[in-house]
Amino acid sequence: MKNSLSVAECSAEEYAATLAKLATKDTSPPLLQAPFYGAWQQRDGKRVVYFIAHDGTTLVAAGLAVKYDAPGGISFFYCPYGPVAAKWTPELLGALREFFAPVAKRAGASFVRLDNYPDGVRPVANHVAVTASLQPRAEWLLDIAPEQNDIWMSMHKHARYNVRLAERASAKLEFFAPAKAPLDTFLALMQTTAGRDSFSLQQRKYYEAVLQSIPADSGFVALCTIDNKPAAVALFAAYDGVMYYIFAGSSNDFRKIAPPYFIIWNAVLEAKKRDWHSLNFGGISDNVKGTHLSGVTSFKKRFGGYEVAHPNPIDLVYNRPKYTAFRLYKRIKR
């Protein structure tokens, strides 16, 4: 029987209007499928494909996919934490597979990676899944809808202590619309953190793209100063009532005061003023001890909350020889 589902490419404007219709009371589309996430990827020079799926006249799914490069001249599209679907069925997956075939051919992509898919489909193995673009398989979320005092008391005592410590140090906090944030200060604090914790940053133009792409009503940069010196900074972006902790950095000069706790707590209070209901801290380590994310994971968990796990993605393969070479490379690099 012919599949009645159809998938079509659309503009960013059409996608934005459509994605909002898929949001429900209990489920918010993820930030990485939000229209402004696609905008910042495009500002960074990446190709983005927006698409909508219908069953007859009924909307069933929507998503965006970003094109990435892999070693050996291989490229692929990745749909991070997406597509967003009202209901997953094998027929929808079949329609997506058919839709992406000519898209992948035109772009020279060997496969398309999806983070969401129907039950019963086998995901790729860990060593194949891991790429620089792969989003964390576990995130930490906090419900910020309860009363302020209830959120405060649910935090670990060390988190509350560090907030009070910053307050006693006369820490000050200023909120900026993302596009108007002090970029040099933002990057300097992030570079300090990157050097301290041994991780690398993107180029300046990437962070410019991010800040310029987030609307003023969909996020803010929080800058904490102590003794009139930049102490810590963080970027928050929100979509469909969920606030996301995107990037952060802190100075080495005030580590004993731990100003990031002060930033998070005040960001929660700001989010409540904007009627946002949840805080997504982003990725955590599945195995806290002995990993480079152990400190970050402990920090996030001290605010209370719960874990959301994501299964490995699936790959829709369109160039079997190149995909086989990609899998072989990933196996060798394990």
Domains 5-135+312-332 and 138-309 share a fold: yes
Strand bridging mode 278-283 / 242-250: parallel
User: Taking the CB of residue 107, how many other CB atoms lie within 10 A of it?
Assistant: 18
Q: What angle in degrees, to the nearest 10, is found between the helix axes of 12-22 and 35-43?
A: 150
CATH architecture of 5-135+312-332: 3-Layer(aba) Sandwich (3.40)
Domain locations along the chain = 5-135+312-332, 138-309
Predicted confidence (pLDDT) per residue in 55-109, tens digit? 999 999 999 999 999 988 899 999 999 999 999 999 999 999 999 999 999 999 9
Which numeric CATH code is attached to 138-309? 3.40.630.30
Given a cut of 60, is residue 173 above it in pLDDT? yes
Predicted confidence (pLDDT) per residue in 149-160, tens digit? 999 999 999 999
Look at residue 62 and give its three-state secondary structure. Answer: strand
Given a cut of 80, is residue 290 above it in pLDDT? no
**Average pLDDT over every residue of 142-170:** 97
For the CA atoms of 116, 317, 70, 330, the dihedral, rounded to the nearest 10 degrees, stands at: 90
pTM, 2 dp:
0.93
* Residue 2: per-residue pLDDT: 59
Predicted confidence (pLDDT) per residue in 196-229, tens digit? 988 889 999 999 999 999 999 999 999 999 999 9
Predicted confidence (pLDDT) per residue in 293-330, tens digit? 678 899 999 999 999 999 999 999 999 999 999 999 88
Amino acid identity of residue 237, one-letter, is A
